[in-house]
Amino acid sequence: MCGIWALFGSDECLSAQCLSAMKIAHRGPDAFRFENVNGFTNCCFGFHRLAVVDQLYGMQPIRVKKFPYLWLCYNGEIYNFKQLQKQFGFEYQTLVDGEVILHLYNRGGIEQTASMLDGVFAFILLDTANRKVFLARDTYGVRPLFKVLTDDGFLGVCSEAKGLINLKHSTSLCSKVEPFLPGHYEVLDLKPSGKVASVELVKFHSCKDEPLHVMCDTVEALPSAGFDLETVKSNIRILFENAVRKRLMAHRRIGCLLSGGLDSSLVAAVLLKLMKEININYPLQTFAIGMENSPDLLAARKVAAHIGSEHHEVMFDTEEGIQAIEEVIFTLETYDITTIRASIGMYLVSKYIRKKTDSVVIFSGEGSDELTQGYIYFHKAPSPEEAAEESERLLKELYLFDVLRADRTTAAHGLELRVPFLDHRFTSYFLSLPAELRIPKNGIEKYLLRLSFEDSNLLPKEILWRPKEAFSDGVASVKKSWFSILQDYIDQQVDDLLLEKAAEKYPFNPPKTKESYYYREIFEKHYSGRSGWLPHYWMPRWVKATDPSARTLKHYKSATQE
C-alpha cells in the first residue's frame, strides 16, 4: 500500500504542484520521493511509500537498467510475480513484486501485462521510447486511482482525489477529477510538450471471466470438475485457502480485522492456520471494535478463543464516533450513508492498530457479501438468475462502496489491506456456479459458503451459521443500533426547513433524510461540486427500504432474538 501521484504537461511550477501530492502522505508514512522525468521538464512522479516488501530497493518510480526508458509508479501487490518470473525467465533487478510489470510490458505490451497480474494494483507506466503513458487498475478497484485530463492535454493521476482537486492549470479543471474504472487500462500518447492525448480505454477483465493468469497460479488446475455439491464445496475450500496463502507475502507484521461475522472469521481462521504451516514466528493479532454490549465484540471474542489469536478489543463511545464523522467523510471522499456509518468503526480500529501495535498488513473480509449473496435483501430476490445479476452488479460497484471504505479507512493510518474474498480466481469460480446453488437457502444467506466449511472445524458452529449483521450495525448493541445513535444526534443538528429545501440545493442525489443531508453538507465543504463521484446511494433492492441498514428489514433477526 502506498500513494502514487503523477503529472504530465503541467503549465505551473512543479515544485508548487508538489504540495498536492502531500495530501496523500498518509498512504506512505515511510518515505517520499518526487522525481522529474528526463527530457520532459513539465512531467513528474510523486510517491509515498509504505515499505512492505524489499526495504532496500522499493522506492518509486521503479526504473531498471534493462529498460531505462520505462518509469513505473504503482500501488498494490502482485502475488504471482515469482511464478511469472519462472514462466517467462525474467531477470529481476530488485525484490519488488511490481518490477514484473516492466518485464511483462516489454515482453507482450499493456494488454498482456494487465491481464497476467494476479493481485491488486493501480499503476502509471511511462514509456519514453515510444512516447506512451499507460494507466491501469485491478478488476475490483481494491487499489484506488483517480485522474483528471483537461482539453489541452494536462493529465493528473493520484491514488486519491484529494491529491488532484487543488492542482493549478491555465485552463479550469472544472470537476473532471474522476475515478479510474476498475478492470480497465488506458493508453495515452505523450507529446514532445509533455501533454497527452487519450488513445483508448480498454476493459481487460470481467469478474465472471477466468483470469488469464490462471496458468501461473499455485493451484494450476482444480482436482475435479462438475457441479455436484461435494466437488463444489471442495473447490471453494481449495481456492479460498489459496487466496489467503498467496496474500501472506509481506516483510511486515500481519494482522486481521475480526468482527465475529462469517467473512472476517473465515479469513482469520484460514490465515492463522496457514501462518502456522509456514512457521511465521509471531502470533496473529486480531482486532474487533464495538460499543458497550456490541454483538460483534462478543462473537469476535468467541472466534479468537477458538482459533487462538492474540485478540485486541477496541471500545468506542457515542462521542468518539460522532467526533470522527467529518474526518471520516474527508478521508472517504463520499457522502454515501451506509459507507460513512460503517467507516467510522473501521477508521477508529485502524487508528488503534497504527498507534498501539506493529501490525501493518491487515487482512479483512470485504467482498464476500457481494460475491456470495450475503445481504439480507437477497432473500427477496425474484429468481436465482436475478440474484446472480445483482451479485455481479454489486461486485462491479465495490469500488464506490465497501472497497472504497476498506481502502481509505486503513490507508488513512498507513496500513495495507488484503482482501482474499476478492481473489480473481476465487470470484470467477464462484460466479461460474449455477445460479440456483448460490442463493440463500433455509432462510440463511451465504448458505453455500457456510456449507463448504461446515466440516472443517475452522470455526465454532454458532459463528459459521451466525446471521448477517452489517458492520455499521454490529458495532452497537441490539437495543440501539449505531445508525439510530447517529440519527438522534444529527436530528438536533439539521433544521426541518433545510431538509425540505434539500432537493433545491442538491438536485443530484438529493438527501432524503437529515442524516444524509448532514453528510452531504460536510462532503460539499471539502469537495464542493463533486457529488458525481457517487452515482447513487447504496440501498437494498426488492424491498421498500428507506434506510440501508439490515436492521430495518423484516427478515433481520439478531442472535438474542432466536
Catalytic residues: 2
Query: Which secondary-structure segment (H or E) carries 497?
Result: helix 496-500
- Cell representation of residue 405: 471504505
CA 187 to chain centre: 24
The answer on whether 365 is annotated among ligand-binding residues is: yes
User: CA-CA distance, 530 to 265, in Å (whole number)?
Assistant: 37
Are 405 and 347 in contact by the 8 Å Cβ rule? The answer is no
The answer on whether 11 is annotated among ligand-binding residues is: no
What's the angle, vertex CA 178, arms to CA 176 and CA 179, rounded to 5? 170
- Cell representation of residue 425: 480466481
By C-alpha distance, which of 395, 402, 375 is closest to 542? Answer: 375
- Cell representation of residue 21: 501530492
User: CA-CA distance, 122 to 189, in Å (whole number)?
Assistant: 19
By C-alpha distance, which of 105, 167, 104, 93 is closest to 132? Answer: 105
User: CA-CA distance, 123 to 98, in Å (whole number)?
Assistant: 9
By C-alpha distance, which of 466, 430, 462 is closest to 445? Answer: 466
The answer on whether 257 is annotated among ligand-binding residues is: yes
Please state, in angstroms and as integers, the Cα–Cα distance from residue 541 to each residue in 177, 387, 537, following that order: 30, 10, 12
User: CA-CA distance, 306 to 326, in Å (whole number)?
Assistant: 37
User: CA-CA distance, 1 to 343, in Å (whole number)?
Assistant: 19
The answer on whether 376 is annotated among ligand-binding residues is: no
The answer on whether 391 is annotated among ligand-binding residues is: no
Phi, psi dihedrals of residue 27, rounded to the nearest 5°: -70, -20
Residues for the chain: how many in total?
562
What is the sign of the dihedral through the CA atoms of 160, 162, 165 and 166?
Answer: negative
Please state, in angstroms and as integers, the Cα–Cα distance from residue 371 to each residue in 140, 342, 435, 442, 446, following that order: 11, 19, 12, 19, 9
What is the sign of the dihedral through the CA atoms of 232, 237, 238 and 244?
Answer: positive
* Through-space distance between the first and last CA atoms of the chain, rounded to whole angstroms: 42
Binding residues: 97, 257, 289, 364-365
Binding residues for L-glutamine: 97
